[in-house]
Structure 1
Amino acid sequence: MTPSTGTVYTYFHHANFPGAAICCREHTAKGSGTMRIPVDKTSPLPLYTQIARFIRHRIECGALPADTRLPAIRVLARELGVNRITVETAYAELEASGLVAARVGSGTYVLPPYSTPARSLPRGNAPCGASPARTPDAASDPWPQWQHHALHRHSFLSAPPAIPLSSHSPQADIIALNSGNSDPRLFPVDQLRASLRETLRREGWKAGEYEEVAGYPPLRRTISHLLADQGIPAAPQDIIITAGSQQALALACQLLTSPGDSVLVESPSYADGLDLFRSRGLRIIPVPMDEEGMRTDLLPALLKEHAPRLIYTIPNFHNPTGICMSGQRRRQLVHMAREHGIPLLEDDFVGELRYEGHAQPALKALAHPGDTLYAGTFSKMLMPGLRVGYLVAEGPVRDLLIRCKRLNDLSSSGIIQRALHRFVSVGRHRAHLARSCQIYRKRRNALLQAMAEHLPQVRIAPIQGGLFAWCTLPAPLTAGSLAPLALHHGVAVAPGTAFFLHPEQGAAHLRLNFALHDPETLQEAVRRLAAAIRQLEAQHGVMA
Structure 2
Amino acid sequence: MNIPLDRSLSLPLYAQVAAFIRAQIERGALEPGMRLPSIRRLSQDLGVNRVTIETAYGELEADGLVTARGGSGTFVLPPFPACALPSLDGRAVPAAPPAATGRKRGTASSASDAATVELPRWQQALCDRRPDLSCDLMIPLQVPGPDEGPIALASGNSDARLFPLASFRRTLRTVLARDGIKALEYEDPAGYAPLRRTIARILADQGVPATPDTVLVTAGSQQALHLVAQVVLKPGDPVYVETPSYADGMALFRTLGLRIVPVFTDSEGMSAEGLREAIARHGHGLVFTMPNFQNPTGICMSGQRRRRIAAIAVAHGVPILEDDYVGDIRYEGYSQPSLHSLTPPGHTFYAGTFSKMLVPGLRMGYLVAEGPVLRMLARVKRMYDLSTSSVVQRTLERFVDLGSYRAHLTRACRIYKVRRDALLDSAVRHLPDDVTIAPVRGGLFAWMTLPEGVGATVLAHEAARHGVTVTPGTPFFAEGLEGERHLRINFTQHDPEILEEGMRRLARAIARCRKGKHCA
Residue 213 (structure 2) aligned to one of 230, 234, 237: 237
Which residue number in structure 2 is paired with residue 358 of structure 1? 334
**Structure 1-normalised TM-score?**
0.75
**Structure 2-normalised TM-score?**
0.79
What are the superposed Cα offsets for residues 455-497 of structure 1, whole Å, 9 maximum, x if unpaired?
1321001100000000000101110110111000000000000
Instruction: Give the paired residue count.
Output: 428
1:190, CA displacement in angstroms? 1.1
Which residue number in structure 1 is paired with residue 393 of structure 2? 417
Q: Does 1:530 align with 2:507?
A: yes
Cα RMSD over matched residues?
Answer: 2.4
Distance in 2 (alpha carbons) for counterparts of 1:540 and 1:534: 12
Q: Does 1:404 align with 2:380?
A: yes
Query: 3-state DSSP class of the match of 2:170?
Result: helix
1:383, CA displacement in angstroms? 1.1
Query: 3-state DSSP class of the match of 1:374?
Result: strand
Structure 2: tracts of 5 or more residues without a match: 1-83, 99-104
Q: In the alignment, residue 474 of structure 1 is paired with which amino acid? A: P
Distance in 1 (alpha carbons) for counterparts of 2:147 and 2:236: 42
Structure 1: tracts of 5 or more residues without a match: 1-53, 69-101, 111-121, 128-140
- Conservation of the 8 A alpha-carbon contact between 1:476 and 1:540: no
Distance in 2 (alpha carbons) for counterparts of 1:338 and 1:108: 63
Query: 3-state DSSP class of the match of 2:395?
Result: helix
1:171, CA displacement in angstroms? 8.6
Residue 511 (structure 1) aligned to one of 488, 494, 497: 488
1:160, CA displacement in angstroms? 2.5
Which residue number in structure 2 is paired with residue 200 of structure 1? 176
Query: 3-state DSSP class of the match of 2:349?
Result: strand
Q: Does 1:457 align with 2:487?
A: no
1:165, CA displacement in angstroms? 0.5
1:172, CA displacement in angstroms? 2.1
Distance in 2 (alpha carbons) for counterparts of 1:108 and 1:430: 57
Distance in 2 (alpha carbons) for counterparts of 1:229 and 1:58: 47
Q: Aligned in 2, Cα 1:537/1:307: closer, same or farther, shift over 3 Å?
A: same
Distance in 2 (alpha carbons) for counterparts of 1:537 and 1:108: 36
Q: In the alignment, residue 95 of structure 2 is paired with which amino acid? A: P
Which residue number in structure 2 is paired with residue 316 of structure 1? 292
1:62, CA displacement in angstroms? 5.3
Distance in 2 (alpha carbons) for counterparts of 1:400 and 1:308: 20
Query: 3-state DSSP class of the match of 1:331?
Result: helix
Distance in 2 (alpha carbons) for counterparts of 1:289 and 1:108: 51
Q: Does 1:372 align with 2:330?
A: no
Distance in 1 (alpha carbons) for counterparts of 2:174 and 2:387: 22
Q: Aligned in 2, Cα 1:387/1:534: closer, same or farther, shift over 3 Å?
A: same
Q: Aligned in 2, Cα 1:170/1:271: closer, same or farther, shift over 3 Å?
A: farther
Query: 3-state DSSP class of the match of 2:93?
Result: coil
1:152, CA displacement in angstroms? 2.0
1:60, CA displacement in angstroms? 7.9
Distance in 1 (alpha carbons) for counterparts of 2:404 and 2:130: 43
Which residue number in structure 2 is paired with residue 485 of structure 1? 462
1:365, CA displacement in angstroms? 1.2
Q: Aligned in 2, Cα 1:518/1:388: closer, same or farther, shift over 3 Å?
A: same
Residue 475 (structure 1) aligned to one of 435, 445, 452: 452
Distance in 2 (alpha carbons) for counterparts of 1:463 and 1:365: 25
Q: Aligned in 2, Cα 1:109/1:494: closer, same or farther, shift over 3 Å?
A: farther
Among all aligned residue pairs of Structure 1 and Structure 2, give the percentage whose two residues are the same amino acid: 52
Distance in 2 (alpha carbons) for counterparts of 1:325 and 1:484: 32
Residue 498 (structure 2) aligned to one of 510, 518, 521: 521
Q: Aligned in 2, Cα 1:123/1:530: closer, same or farther, shift over 3 Å?
A: closer
Residue 87 (structure 2) aligned to one of 42, 50, 57: 57
- Conservation of the 8 A alpha-carbon contact between 1:167 and 1:180: no
Which residue number in structure 1 is paired with residue 14 of structure 2? none
Q: In the alignment, residue 288 of structure 2 is paired with which amino acid? A: Y
Distance in 1 (alpha carbons) for counterparts of 2:287 and 2:128: 28
Matches within 5 A, 1:123-522: 124=115, 127=118, 141=119, 143=120, 145-168=121-144, 172-455=148-431, 456-522=433-499
Which residue number in structure 1 is paired with residue 62 of structure 2? none
1:125, CA displacement in angstroms? 5.1
- Conservation of the 8 A alpha-carbon contact between 2:89 and 2:127: no
1:161, CA displacement in angstroms? 2.9
